[in-house]
Chains A and B, each alone.
Chain A
Amino acid sequence: EVQLVQSGAEVKKPGESLKISCKGSGYSFTSYWIGWVRQMPGKGLEWMGIIYPGDSDTRYSPSFQGQVTISADKSISTAYLQWSSLKASDTAMYYCARNPSYYDSSRFDLWGRGTLVTVSS
């Protein structure tokens, strides 16, 4: 089955670090981009960034540049989203999604179920 499986929900304190994961299966992981999308509670979708696991080419939205790090380990078909110092405002659902197009970063044809990150003291 073609799918993206995301890591489980996290509860963290402000200032802590975190790395969440997204594992692809059923398709050639290195042939598609993987993007990350944030959805804060009760709010809309926000485009964070995207990575091509084949060569780790990574692009960030200016809104998220420097705030998070996107990486991938193609040997285990897994992409990551990480924070070095969480803030309460990072509380959100984070989705990973597959992008089949080199030139169209708006197109996500396969989505994970999301990882809920809660940051609270």
Chain B
Amino acid sequence: QSALTQPASVSGSPGQSITISCTGTSSDVGSYNLVSWYQQHPGKAPKLMIYEVSKRPSGVSNRFSGSKSGNTASLTISGLQAEDEADYYCCSYAGSSTSGVFGGGTKLTVL
């Protein structure tokens, strides 16, 4: 199966909002409300930020929000902060035979 498609990079200034897209197909993102988002700082393990498209785990800032339309899921970060600079990955359930697929990742730069 192919990885989900994410922009290679996005950037924004402190206080601004940015949105990262994650495009899949009707076999994964489009068929299930089972998309998660992860934040990964250099040299660190990923951290779950969003699950089931728009739910936030306990302890994750409400500046992070998720949504989905058709085959595309999105992560929005509002009120950008310096510590948000990291790589972000989406991941979708892709059916029982494939199970899971990640996006290629997006590098967020806070200017």
Whether A104 touches B51, Cβ cut-off 8 Å, given contacts A44-B89, A45-B46, A45-B105, is yes
Whether A62 touches B45, Cβ cut-off 8 Å, given contacts A44-B103, A106-B93, A107-B52, is no
Interface presence of B12 (CB below 8 A): no
* Chain A, Cβ-Cβ closest to B35: A106
Whether A104 touches B46, Cβ cut-off 8 Å, given contacts A44-B3, A61-B99, is no
Residues of A within 8 A of B87 (CB): 44
Query: Chain A: how many interface residues by the 8 Å CB criterion?
Result: 26
In the complex, chain A residues 40-86 whose Cβ is within 8 Å of any chain B Cβ: 44-47, 49-50, 59-63
A104 and B34 within 8 A (CB): yes
Chain B facing A: main interface SS: strand
A-B contact count (CB 8 A): 81
Q: Which of A44, A50, A104, A112 contacts B104 (CB 8 A)?
A: A44
Q: Which of A46, A105, A108, A112 contacts B99 (CB 8 A)?
A: A105
B: residues with CB less than 8 A from A are: 1, 3, 34-36, 38, 40, 45-48, 51-52, 57, 87, 89, 91-93, 96-105
12 A–B contact pairs at CB < 8 A?
A44-B104, A45-B40, A46-B102, A59-B99, A95-B45, A104-B36, A104-B52, A104-B93, A105-B34, A106-B36, A107-B36, A108-B46
Known contacts A47-B102, A62-B97; can you find 4 more A-B pairs with CB under 8 A? A45-B102, A95-B45, A104-B93, A105-B34
